[in-house]
Structure 1
Amino acid sequence: MMDSIRLVGQSGHSSDPTLGKNALDVMHEVIAELLTYRQQLKDKYTSDLFAIPYPTLNLGAIHGGDNPNRICGYCNLEFDVRLTPGMNIDTVRADIQERVKRVTEPLGIHFEMGEIFSGVPAFFAEENSAMLKAAEELTNHSGITVQFGTEGPFLQELGMDTIVMGPGNIDQAHQPNEYMSMDMINPSIDVLTKLITKHCL
């Protein structure tokens, strides 16, 4: 899930802090609350299936204010949460909203939360998955868990035997000059053709 938090304070001249409510100062406290929550998620939810065995909460972007000599009247924070299996997106979103409210309400700061991306529930293939076994045989690699989002959970909800497989390396994702090596493509086409032939024809 990817969400945003917008704090609305009141701008004023920076020579007198009493003239306004600094949204950036309050966002500092909101961030501290989110970092505490991140640690609590890490302590509460673990899954040894993953290389990173706990949920992650990444603070990805922050924007606020318009001038160094003005009290910051607004501040936006954008963040991303990656859940482990068994966690509920709506519960996490409600937890975060309650924590932001706990910080902002006593200070008289208005906040709004917005969904950037509603989120994808975590999922994993069953150990007896025929698709997983076939893919392992065709590639000579054991299945592993990955920590990025796909359409997989939605297909699994429809009752489909679902795995995530394809060419590329996640280490290159979202990097400058992101690329996929050409020598990965033909072997992938071959494996996908064999899987389709075995399971769909």
Structure 2
Amino acid sequence: MALIDDTHDILADLIAFPTVSSDSNLELIAYAADYLGELGARTHVMIDHTGHKANLFATLGPEVDGGIVLSGHSDVVPVEDQDWSSDPFRLREADGLLYGRGSCDMKGFIAASMAVAPRYAAQKLTRPLHFSFTFDEEVGCLGARQLVDDLARLELRPSVAIIGEPTEMRIIEGHKGCCEYTTRFTGFEGHASAPDAGVNAVEYAVRYVARLMELREALKARAPAASRFDPPWTTVQVGRLTGGVAHNVIPGHCSVDWEMRPVTEADRLFVRSRIEAYVADELLPAMRAVSADADIVTEVIGEVAGLEPVDDNEARRIVAELTGANGADVVAFGTEAGLFQAFGMSAVVCGPGSIAQAHKPDEFVSRDQLQSCLDMLCGLERKLTA
């Protein structure tokens, strides 16, 4: 059977695991670990502190440093309130397109990586080939953050990482960071007829959001002159504001989910320092003048480094040779690549499918894109057996 057909079958299995970030991914990880383990791979299943999530790091070839990592995240975004034409957790094929949640983001790449594994298991590799399948990328790259710590503990030192996010097989050598926060406001409830006697958590949250929007505008003037990103500046976005119980009750609690995509570390520090000063100097004193128990607390959901374009990038050279690409791009969306780079690997993002399909109903990846990915992965042979 052709590799594309193997990939199709594996992808069908992967999509059938409903690995939404809020749920466990253990069944998928066990499936992949069994598959690669039967091929002779050395597998490490790394359970998180909850016991409900895990990373898989599996290796074919010699136990030496300098291996090549094929990396994909196992989690997917929710399907609630989306109008799907078919069951999102059952692979459907029509006109050369493979539909299902995670088909392009990014179980298609994982399936292709697993499909080529028997090919490499049958060869005498001189350089290790690693498979890295992580949890909770969609909610702050939590799995990859744990993974690099575990790799350091195990003294595993790969040198190249190919992260198979959907890029239509374009080489991505840089992207912005991704920082996600939840800020919680504790006020003082009361009757709406006497608003000055309470601390309205929703109103203070709105003031906080307004300050974030002011900082968002200020960031536009801080865009580096040579920035290749679109937009070229650091962005700030508010995803959700939740609070209150009724029209006539002063709300005692509110929360704001927001994110920042920094071009530079200096921008991240600029936003954090300005918003923290606004809270300490203006919001909290006003709230506590009414209630000493009022508070504002920000939880860091994830602060993931961007992928910095560098002149000397072995991963870029390898993928360019395999795909025939003449250049590399940058993108605004975030990936786990910056964590691999910070660990000391050269890294690029390159995988099948389009980011335009990700997170949407009727998400799909085409067979043609999967075949292009398989061609690239099979081409690694000369890098692993030389």
Select the residue among 117, 128, 131 that pairs with 2:315.
131
How far 1:159 sits from its partner (Å)?
2.9
The answer to whether structure 1 residue 73 and structure 2 residue 258 are counterparts is no
What is the match of residue 54 of structure 1?
A: 233
Distance 1:25 1:92 in 2: 21
* Contact 2:240–2:257 (CA under 8 A) maintained in structure 1: yes
How far 1:65 sits from its partner (Å)?
0.7
How far 1:74 sits from its partner (Å)?
1.3
- State TM-score, norm by structure 1: 0.87
The answer to whether structure 1 residue 42 and structure 2 residue 220 are counterparts is yes
Other structure's SS at 2:191 match: coil
* Contact 2:234–2:267 (CA under 8 A) maintained in structure 1: no
- CA gap of 1:8–1:178, structure 2 versus 1, over 3 A, is same
Other structure's SS at 2:275 match: helix
Distance 1:178 1:100 in 2: 41
How many residue pairs get matched? 199
How far 1:67 sits from its partner (Å)?
1.0
The 5 A counterparts of 1:122-161 are 122-141=306-325, 142-161=327-346
* Contact 1:29–1:103 (CA under 8 A) maintained in structure 2: no
How far 1:193 sits from its partner (Å)?
2.5
* Contact 2:188–2:199 (CA under 8 A) maintained in structure 1: yes
Other structure's SS at 2:240 match: strand
Counterpart of 2:374, as a letter, is I
* Contact 1:85–1:123 (CA under 8 A) maintained in structure 2: no
Question: Which structure is higher in strand share?
Answer: 2
Other structure's SS at 1:50 match: coil
What whole-Å deviation, never above 9, does each CA across 1:61-100 have from its counterpart, x for those lacking one?
A: 1100111110111110000111114446556434432233
Distance 1:84 1:26 in 2: 29
* Contact 2:215–2:271 (CA under 8 A) maintained in structure 1: no
* Contact 1:17–1:71 (CA under 8 A) maintained in structure 2: yes
Question: Structure 2 regions of 5+ residues with no counterpart?
Answer: 1-178, 288-293
The 5 A counterparts of 1:79-158 are 79-87=258-266, 89=268, 92-108=271-287, 109-117=294-302, 119-141=303-325, 142-158=327-343
Moved more, 33-42 or 129-138: 129-138
Distance 1:151 1:199 in 2: 23
How far 1:12 sits from its partner (Å)?
0.9
Question: Which structure is higher in helix share?
Answer: 1
Moved more, 159-168 or 128-137: 128-137
Distance 2:214 2:275 in 1: 11
Moved more, 30-39 or 88-97: 88-97
Select the residue among 160, 173, 180 that pairs with 2:365.
180
* Contact 2:181–2:298 (CA under 8 A) maintained in structure 1: yes
- CA gap of 1:173–1:87, structure 2 versus 1, over 3 A, is farther
What is the match of residue 149 of structure 2?
A: none
- State TM-score, norm by structure 2: 0.48
Select the residue among 191, 199, 202 that pairs with 1:13.
191
Distance 2:359 2:278 in 1: 30
How far 1:36 sits from its partner (Å)?
0.8
What whole-Å deviation, never above 9, does each CA across 1:30-74 have from its counterpart, x for those lacking one?
A: 111111111122211335211221111110011001111101111
- CA gap of 1:97–1:177, structure 2 versus 1, over 3 A, is farther
The answer to whether structure 1 residue 64 and structure 2 residue 249 are counterparts is no
Point out 4+ residue stretches in structure 1 off by more than 6 angstroms. none
Distance 2:362 2:281 in 1: 42
What is the match of residue 375 of structure 2?
A: 190
- CA gap of 1:69–1:55, structure 2 versus 1, over 3 A, is same
Measured on the aligned residues, the alpha-carbon RMSD in Å equals 2.2
- CA gap of 1:121–1:87, structure 2 versus 1, over 3 A, is farther
